[in-house]
Amino acid sequence: MTETMPPGTANPGGPGGDPASVVVKPTRRQSVRSAIAVGFGSAIEWYDYGLYAFVAGLIIAPLFFSGATGAVGLLASFGTFAVGFVARPIGGLVLGALSDRWGRRPVLMLSILMIGIATTLIGCLPPYASIGVAAPIMLVILRLIQGFGAGAELAGAITMVNESAQLKRKGFFSSLAMAGAGAGGLLALIIFTTSSTVLGPEEFSSWGWRIPFLFSAVLTIIGVVMRRKLHESPEFEAVERERKAGLVREARRNPFVAFARAFKASPRNWIAGFLIPSGLNVTGYIVTAFGISYLVGTVGLPQNQALFVSLSCSLVMLIFVAVFGAVSDRIGSKRVIYISVIGAVVWVVPYYLILNTGNLAFIIVASGVMLALGWAAGSAAHTVLMPAFFKAEFRSAGLFSSRELQGALIAGPAPLIATAIVVATGGAPWGAAGLIIVAQLLTLVGVLIAKPWVSAAEKAETPALAGITPRED
Percentages (nearest 5) of helix, strand, coil residues in the chain = 80, 0, 20
- Sign, CA torsion 39/41/44/45: negative
Comparing 10-24, 69-83, 274-288, 383-397, which segment has the lowest mean pLDDT?
A: 10-24
* pLDDT above 50: residue 5: no
Report the DSSP beta bridge partners of residue 3.
25
| Predicted confidence (pLDDT) per residue in 168-187, tens digit | 999 999 999 898 877 887 88
Q: Quick one: pLDDT at residue 58?
A: 66
Given a cut of 80, whether residue 1 has pLDDT beyond it is no
CA distance 22 to 14: 14
pLDDT(10) > 50: no
Please check the confidence at residue 15 and state whether its pLDDT lies above 60.
no
| 385-to-6, 235, 365, 408 alpha-carbon distances in Å | 24, 16, 29, 21
Residue 183, pLDDT score: 87
Q: CB–CB of 390/20 below 8 Å?
A: no
Mean pLDDT over residues 62-75, rounded? 61
pLDDT for res 184: 86
Contact by Cβ (8 Å): 119, 46: no
Return the domain boundaries, the chain.
23-465
pLDDT at position 473 is 62
pLDDT at residue 450 greater than cutoff 80: yes
- Axis crossing angle, helix 28-55 with helix 104-122, rounded to the nearest 10: 20
Q: Is the pLDDT of residue 81 over 70?
A: no
CATH code for the structural domain at 23-465: 1.20.1250.20
pLDDT of 7 higher than 50: no
> Which is more confidently placed, 39 or 346?
346
Higher pLDDT, 140 or 73: 140
pLDDT at 20: 45
Q: What is the pLDDT of residue 268?
A: 95
Three-state DSSP state, 4: strand
Question: Is the per-residue pLDDT at 57 higher than 70?
Answer: no
Q: Give yes or no for residue 322 having a pLDDT over 80.
A: yes
Q: Which of 130-144, 209-223, 356-370, 400-414 has the highest mean pLDDT?
A: 356-370
Percent residues over pLDDT 70 in the chain: 90
pLDDT at residue 334 greater than cutoff 90? yes
408 has pLDDT over 50: yes
**Mean residue pLDDT across the chain:** 85
Query: What's the mean pLDDT in 85-94?
Result: 87
The CA distance from 292 to 303, in Å, is 9
* pLDDT at residue 449 in the model: 96
pLDDT tens-digit series, residues 230-284: 888 889 998 989 998 888 888 887 989 999 999 999 999 999 999 999 999 999 8
pTM: 0.85
